[in-house]
Amino acid sequence: MFSRAMTGKYAVPAYNFNNMEQLQAIITGCIRSNSPVILQVSGSARNYIGAGFLPHLAAAARSMVEEARSAIPVALHLDHGNSFELAKSCIEAGFSSVMIDASHHSFEENAKLSREVVEYAHDNDVTVEAELGVLAGIEDEVVAEKSSYTRPEEVEKFLEMTGVDSLAISIGTSHGAHKFKLKPGEEPPPLKFDILEEIERRVPGFPIVLHGASSVMAKHIEQINRFGGKMENTAGIPEEQLRRAAALAVCKVNIDSDGRLAMTAAIRQIFAEKPSEFDPRKYLGPARDELTEMIIHKNTQVLGSAGRY
Ligand code: G3H
Ligand code: 13P
Ligand code: ZN
């Protein structure tokens, strides 16, 4: 997936899911737009679904692709794994890929733990993503007040020491729906493309991962607030910047918050307009449709992953 994304100058979407409707929307959106897809779950999402239940959901997603006679590749990935044991457990359960996120530790500790996971994962034909630099915000159960950008001069040594297959970097994105504190009318600051370009110069062709890449779409924030929600001072990464990153060394773009917002917006509208509705299919169904449309939009208009398979 990554080598094709690198030569094709696009990024593979990595969408987080926590339930059946999200998973169906992601798969349907990617089948319809002929896009490769990485289905990812955090440790807490895996606990929510149930570690034993999850492989069955993933198998069902694969069946959807086969039944549609689609050729899109699908990976199941652990997002922000925080221990060797969690990564091992996911590998044993059949994941195709795991992230070990030890980015909040020292360089040496990060490299040591990442190496340990790589050895076990590669023996089992599983690929590994690690992270260098720290993103502000919540990374699963890890909360960082301030970000620290990735230092390009550390990247080659880290890759040599660990043997990881892809690397998440910190260039100004962060997790969640409040990425920047902006004054009214102010634009989000540009991502640190100089860092990304310097990393690409040092390790040409190596797949880079961008976390915290939700755009926090205005239409969903407006819809949420119009129908009784209260989301203030939200800010995301402008689509234009994601397009630029996807054409450079960024091969995987992580999107979670935008999917949450799309579903919440649709559900709020139904609850507000039809207060007597109590059939979950009548609000989860439209929420799934809204998410499907969003996935097609991202693949087609932002990541460039549509029409590749
Ligand atoms: O990067 C973190 C993801 O958005 C997952 O969040 O731990 O709430 O599932 P979560
Ligand atoms: P967002 O919160 O911007 O969607 O980031 C998701 C992410 O990085 C998952 O690992
Ligand atoms: Zn992340």
From 79, 101, 165, 256, active-site residue: 79
Name every protein residue with a CB atom under 6 angstroms from any ligand 2 atom: 16, 79-80, 175-176, 211-214, 254-258
Other beta carbons less than 10 A from residue 233's beta carbon? 9
- Residue 129 has what pLDDT? 98
* CA gap 235, 99 in Å, rounded: 26
* CA gap 119, 125 in Å, rounded: 10
Q: What is the best residue among 138, 142, 147 to mutate for testing ligand 1's pocket, by most ligand atoms within 8 Å of CB? A: 138
Q: Comparing C-alpha atoms, which of 145, 249, 144, 139 is closest to residue 191?
A: 249
Q: Tell how far the Cα of 39 is from the centroid of ligand 3, in angstroms.
A: 13
Q: Comparing C-alpha atoms, which of 51, 55, 63, 52 is closest to residue 24?
A: 63
State which residues have CB under 5 angstroms from ligand 3, the bound ion. Answer: 211, 254
Instruction: Give the count of alpha carbons within 13 A of 213, CB side only.
Output: 30
Of the bound ligands, which one is closest to the alpha carbon of residue 257? 2
Q: Tell how far the Cα of 46 is from the centroid of ligand 1, in angstroms.
A: 11
Q: What is the best residue among 256, 260, 291 to mutate for testing ligand 2's pocket, by most ligand atoms within 8 Å of CB? A: 256
The pTM of this model reads 0.97
- Taking the chain (309 residues) in runs of 10, the rounded mean pLDDT of each run is 98 98 98 98 98 98 98 98 98 98 96 98 98 74 66 98 98 95 90 97 98 98 98 97 98 98 98 98 98 98 98
Name the closest-CA residue to atom 5, ligand 2.
212
Q: Tell how far the Cα of 288 is from the centroid of ligand 3, in angstroms.
A: 22
**Under a CB-based contact definition with an 8 Å cutoff, are residues 192 and 249 in contact?**
no
- What does each C-alpha distance from 150 to 10, 14, 116, 132, 300 come to in angstroms? 22, 21, 22, 6, 29
Other beta carbons less than 10 A from residue 52's beta carbon? 8
Here the tokens at position 107 are 């360089």
Active site residue 79: yes
Q: Tell how far the Cα of 137 is from the centroid of ligand 3, in angstroms.
A: 10
Q: Comparing C-alpha atoms, which of 158, 98, 169 is closest to residue 133?
A: 169
Is the CB of 16 within 6 Å of ligand 1? yes
- Residue 48 has what pLDDT? 98
**Tokens 């100089």, residue?**
194
- Residue 185 has what pLDDT? 87
Q: Tell how far the Cα of 42 is from the centroid of ligand 1, in angstroms.
A: 6
Question: Hey, is 117 helix, strand or coil?
Answer: helix
Is the CB of 165 within 6 Å of ligand 1? no
